[in-house]
């Protein structure tokens, strides 16, 4: 059976991509393109935006460390970080949220449906967009044994032994809720999550939190601004 010219070219292209070739055969070229990614929210980029309190799901999973981080205000730290990020990386105007604004519920579903509350917040702040949601940060100390090989200094033979390994895990989880400041209607709700593990016990939780946040920075900005991603494309001459 004869293969048409178009089908033959597609077959050749598939082989080139699979082989990771970069230019390649006569008439086939690999190029890198920077492709725009639209923001997930339909925004102009110059809106007035205000950040409401976030529901704090938990502070830590390791209860014996609770006293050590009792003054750690996860909601305040995340809102401060998010506000600075928006001011630095977007053209939006950040509007201060009144200190006396309190969430009417700690249930996310009920919060998203409470249009009267969000419409009132929008009226007080004059914001086009209001952000809220749920934030969670978990610190977990871990320990266990790992088998490793070692060479004995006595007889120069290789043996195996059990070695105690300790680490601290950090998990940051946030659901970002965006609402229309005029109507109180939900515009967007998405979850972002990052995990890190440090090869030692009782690592600093604030440092762990901000490492999580830095890892999520691009995804959070993707809600509001156009981003670019680089992709390979194969072109026939």
Profile the chain (237 residues) by mean pLDDT over runs of 10 residues.
50 48 58 63 88 82 46 88 94 95 95 96 97 93 76 84 79 95 95 88 79 92 72 62
The candidate with the shortest Cα–Cα distance to 133, out of 57, 209, 47, is 57
- CA angle 215/45/90 to nearest 5° reads 40
pLDDT score, position 2? 47
* Tokens standing for residue 237: 């001459």
pLDDT score, position 17? 47
pLDDT score, position 177? 96
pTM of the model: 0.69
HSE (side-chain half, CA atoms, 13 Å) at 24: 20
The candidate with the shortest Cα–Cα distance to 224, out of 57, 101, 43, 76, is 43
HSE (side-chain half, CA atoms, 13 Å) at 43: 27
pLDDT score, position 116? 97
Of the chain, the end-to-end C-alpha distance in Å amounts to 27
From the number of C-beta atoms within 10 Å of its C-beta (0-12, 13-18, 19+), residue 54 rates as buried
- The CA-atom distances, in angstroms, between 110 and each of 57, 100, 106, 197, 208 are 15, 20, 8, 34, 31
Residue with tokens 């059976």: 1
With beta carbons less than 8 A apart as the criterion, state whether 93 and 47 touch: yes
With beta carbons less than 8 A apart as the criterion, state whether 127 and 50 touch: yes
- CA angle 83/84/86 to nearest 5° reads 65
- Return the sign of the alpha-carbon dihedral for residues 130, 95, 104, 131: positive
């Amino acid at each position: 059976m004869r293969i048409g010219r178009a089908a033959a070219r597609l077959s050749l292209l598939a082989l080139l991509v699979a082989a990771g070739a970069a230019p390649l055969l006569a008439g086939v070229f690999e190029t890198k393109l920077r492709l725009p990614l639209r923001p997930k929210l339909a925004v102009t980029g110059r809106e007035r935006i205000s950040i409401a309190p976030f529901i704090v799901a938990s502070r830590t999973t390791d209860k014996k460390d609770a006293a050590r981080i009792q003054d750690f205000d996860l909601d305040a730290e995340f809102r401060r970080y998010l506000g600075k990020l928006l001011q630095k990386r977007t053209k939006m105007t950040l509007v201060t949220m009144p200190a006396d604004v309190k969430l009417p519920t700690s249930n996310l579903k009920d919060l998203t449906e409470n249009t009267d509350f969000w419409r009132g917040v929008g009226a007080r702040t004059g914001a086009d967009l209001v952000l809220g949601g749920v934030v969670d940060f978990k610190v977990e100390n871990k320990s266990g044994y790992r088998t490793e090989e070692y060479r004995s200094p006595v007889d120069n033979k290789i043996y195996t032994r059990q070695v105690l390994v300790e680490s601290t895990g950090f998990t940051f989880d946030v659901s970002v809720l965006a609402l229309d400041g005029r109507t109180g209607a939900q515009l967007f709700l998405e979850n972002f999550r990052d995990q890190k593990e440090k090869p030692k016990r009782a690592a600093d939780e604030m440092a762990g939190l901000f490492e999580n946040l830095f890892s999520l920075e691009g995804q959070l900005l993707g809600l509001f601004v156009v981003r670019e991603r680089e992709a390979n494309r194969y072109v026939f001459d």
